[in-house]
Structure 1
Amino acid sequence: MQRSTRIASALSLAATGDAVAYLLLPLHAEAFGLTLAGVGLLLGVNRLVRPLLYAVFGRHATGAGLVRLAPWAVITSGLSTLALGWGSGLAALLVARVAWGCCFATLKLSMIVAATQADQRAGRRLAMASALREIGPSAALVVAGPIVFAVGPRAVFVLLGGLSLVGLGWVAGDLRFAGDPRGPAEPAPALRSLVVPTGRDWLGFASALSVGGLSASVAPLVAAHGTYRTALWVGGGALVAKRLLSVTVSLLAGLRWRRAPPQRVLRWGLGLQAMAVVVAAVPVATLPLLWLCAAMLSAAGFALLGIVLPLHGDRRVSSLARLGAWTDIGAALGPSLALWSLTAGSYVLFAAAQAGLLVWGLVGTQRASREGGELGRRPRSP
């Protein structure tokens, strides 16, 4: 089994608790000693720590060093999911979510580095790894409903925490991974190059803001117009649909890697995302239409990575780290702003702002494509 496949398999199990948290925490906030605003903070805080970690990785880490961290990240992710089942209150659960954010950043970046370490067939390897890491969260969302009705919401996280630790068997051997011996280590880039976003990074921010916002608010949106049981099944179905489409997009992009221009795929993804956030804000869009909305939100993710993949050498890890940082900033703000706007009765305004950002990104990609430049920034002259 390829190293990227093994890391993706471990990440697939580790991410099950995070996926179910988007469904159960908004519906069972009081059972965990939380308010709805507190849930929004928990769903976003794990992403706030990732930009800091990405900056450290982008400046100091090597590909081999990231891969060697994967086993420790798997162990910590399992413990953080167990803490969601055993802990209560904002402070305790905040620590668990911060720990999960560090684990996800480590596993995701090490998976990407392992998949793209050799240029040949890198797109296909990353496509398979990206698709594989969605299987565990999708399956967890499917079975979460029956388990909740049988044993309650806390037991779900205890079971998933134990399941996450199974992934240690796939990555335990990477503790002694020595890396690719073909060339020297990448030089440390300037800190400013890891902080100042490019046009590509702004697109990642806008895309993740809409994905995180609707993922966190889909269940409360349904609950406002139906019963708890309906919200549980419809909300879970919407999140599963989003992840399954992400798998499909990843596989298609990998199979047609040299034929489908990443910018064209990205433009379609941004357009679908803008439509999704607008439709979700309409009061009548409460049941099957929300499934479609959540599914459409996943269309741009793989294209963003596709734009970074052609980068080689000293730009690859730092570019991936910077994109991951700005994507996670958007994903962190999404749940908090979405649930706060629901509480304040201003979700329509939040949806309009998201759609505006996505349309701005769509216009920017079209302009960059016509001018032959990079997304949002012309290439510097030598």
Structure 2
Amino acid sequence: MFRTTTAPALASTDLNSRHAAMALGLSLPADVVLYLLLPMYAGQFGVTLAEAGMLLAANRLVRIAGYGAVARFYARNGDRLSCTIAVVAAAFCGLGYATLSGFWALLPLRLVWGLCFAALNLSTQSLATAELLGAARRSGRSRALIAMGPVLALPLGALLALWAGPRIIFCILAAFSLVAVLATRRLPAVPHGSAHSKPARRFKRPNSLDAWSFMEGLTLDGLFIVGLSYLGKDLMPVGAVVMAGSLMALRYLAEILLSPVGGHMAERFGAERLLVSLSLVTAIALVGFGLGWLWSCAASIVVLRALQLPLLPPIVAHRTPGPERMHALAARAVWRDVGAGIGPLLAGLLLPVVASSWLYGSCALLLAAAALACGRNPSASPGKQQGVIP
């Protein structure tokens, strides 16, 4: 017996996925530009480098405790209300980055943004995988749409920082967050049925996908981004902010161009197999990054990351079908946030005192081990990933 999906249902799912991605893409730039400017201009924000690392980690760490509550609110109230609240709150966070100084003034903004991102990210993943047929393709297109805002904001933020300081860009980005309301109002308003399902145990033994999500967040969303700003400043004191901003923009440009490619490759070859292969190559690039081949290895890492981004949601959807899919997606996001929250803390504390080759080499080995563990637990075959489920 085969499950089929009607064309109108697929068209509606595609449209909803695009609107959710647009909302996140318009709200995300203030956060990613802060990752660029805060480590380089920590003094102008009234914080030390270690405090900057804690601030950059805070939005991730709050999601560890808050993702469950966000998922329940999202399930009860649906995409439209949840995402509308999130983008309005994100605009206020952007205004705060532009006007406030000091660790304790900026910390609440980072915590609020963390919960906003949790709702927006959960909506994009849930809507992209609402139908198994074409889930990897929709995930790739979703990542491309999300990346469009950051790819424009990062070079603009770097140039404005040289010309007028690191603050004014956040006023502009706050306005774009408010524009995202136009997208959220077109999202479905119906609640999700899983709101009334029995909640999963809060603490579970991590599985192979949890371990990979943790290491991916630690290395690529934490250590790599902060290290790019910090190490780049030492290698190129004058134009470091422009070079780092350009490479970070390249990271999102790669998502626009290559995340759909990664989704199509997953449909053809199998998401788990592709995840293992790309993660192993990423580990090699991380070793080179730590050894001092900073700009070339950084460019390789952003390309590899873009290809990997659409892989996890379809893997989770196939391993956890039915109403528990949303909770499984949230769980994987929590583990990635744990890693991405620890990454900036480690970078702020260890980069000034520990050799970068040792730090990035150790993390590369752990990422490779986590990827190999995922490959030992395959789920759906490529044929199943085309949406033909027996």
With normalisation by structure 2, the TM-score equals: 0.87
Q: Is the 8 A contact 2:22 2:145 kept in 1?
A: yes
Q: 1:292 to 1:120 in 2, by over 3 A?
A: closer
Q: Provide the residue aligned with 1:378 in structure 2.
A: none
Q: Provide the residue aligned with 1:223 in structure 2.
A: 233
Partners of 1:353 and 1:97 lie apart in 2 by 29
Partners of 1:179 and 1:276 lie apart in 2 by 43
Q: Provide the residue aligned with 1:3 in structure 2.
A: 16
Asked if residue 166 in structure 1 is aligned to residue 179 in structure 2, the reply is: yes
Q: Provide the residue aligned with 1:15 in structure 2.
A: 28
Q: 1:314 aligns with which of 319, 323, 327?
A: 323
Q: Provide the residue aligned with 2:118 in structure 1.
A: 105
**Deviations for 1:363-382, whole angstroms, at most 9, x for unmatched residues?**
3234335xx799xxxxxxxx
Q: 1:272 to 1:90 in 2, by over 3 A?
A: same
Secondary structure at the aligned position of 1:2 is classed as: helix
With normalisation by structure 1, the TM-score equals: 0.88
Asked if residue 138 in structure 1 is aligned to residue 151 in structure 2, the reply is: yes
Q: 1:95 to 1:139 in 2, by over 3 A?
A: same
Q: 1:304 aligns with which of 300, 312, 321?
A: 312
* Greater alpha carbon shift after TM alignment, 237-246 vs 287-296: 287-296
Q: Provide the residue aligned with 2:199 in structure 1.
A: 189
Q: 2:288 aligns with which of 279, 292, 296?
A: 279
Structure 1 outlier segments of 4+, above 6 Å: none
Q: 1:113 to 1:50 in 2, by over 3 A?
A: same
Q: 1:114 to 1:201 in 2, by over 3 A?
A: same
Offset at 1:2?
1.5
Q: Is the 8 A contact 2:209 2:374 kept in 1?
A: no
Asked if residue 127 in structure 1 is aligned to residue 135 in structure 2, the reply is: no
Q: Is the 8 A contact 1:276 1:296 kept in 2?
A: no
Percent identical across equivalent pairs?
Answer: 29
Asked if residue 338 in structure 1 is aligned to residue 347 in structure 2, the reply is: yes
Q: Is the 8 A contact 2:63 2:118 kept in 1?
A: yes
Q: Is the 8 A contact 1:207 1:300 kept in 2?
A: no
Q: Is the 8 A contact 1:239 1:291 kept in 2?
A: no
Q: Is the 8 A contact 1:243 1:295 kept in 2?
A: no
Runs (5+) with no aligned partner, structure 1: 375-382
Correspondence list, 1:231-250, <5 A = 231-250=240-259
* Greater alpha carbon shift after TM alignment, 244-253 vs 205-214: 244-253
Aligned amino acid, residue 300 of structure 1: Q
Q: Is the 8 A contact 1:17 1:160 kept in 2?
A: yes
Offset at 1:228?
3.0
Offset at 1:195?
4.1
Q: 2:190 aligns with which of 178, 200, 208?
A: 178
Q: 1:248 to 1:241 in 2, by over 3 A?
A: same
Partners of 2:76 and 2:125 lie apart in 1 by 9
Correspondence list, 1:244-283, <5 A = 244-283=253-292
Partners of 1:299 and 1:144 lie apart in 2 by 25
Offset at 1:60?
6.7
Q: 1:318 to 1:297 in 2, by over 3 A?
A: same
**Deviations for 1:111-147, whole angstroms, at most 9, x for unmatched residues?**
2222222334333222211210011011111222222
Runs (5+) with no aligned partner, structure 2: 1-13, 382-390
Q: Provide the residue aligned with 1:379 in structure 2.
A: none
Secondary structure at the aligned position of 2:199 is classed as: coil
Q: Is the 8 A contact 2:59 2:110 kept in 1?
A: yes
Number of matched residues?
A: 366
Partners of 1:142 and 1:239 lie apart in 2 by 9
Q: 1:273 to 1:339 in 2, by over 3 A?
A: farther
Q: 1:294 to 1:342 in 2, by over 3 A?
A: farther
Aligned amino acid, residue 317 of structure 2: L
Offset at 1:351?
1.1
CA RMSD of aligned residues (A): 2.4
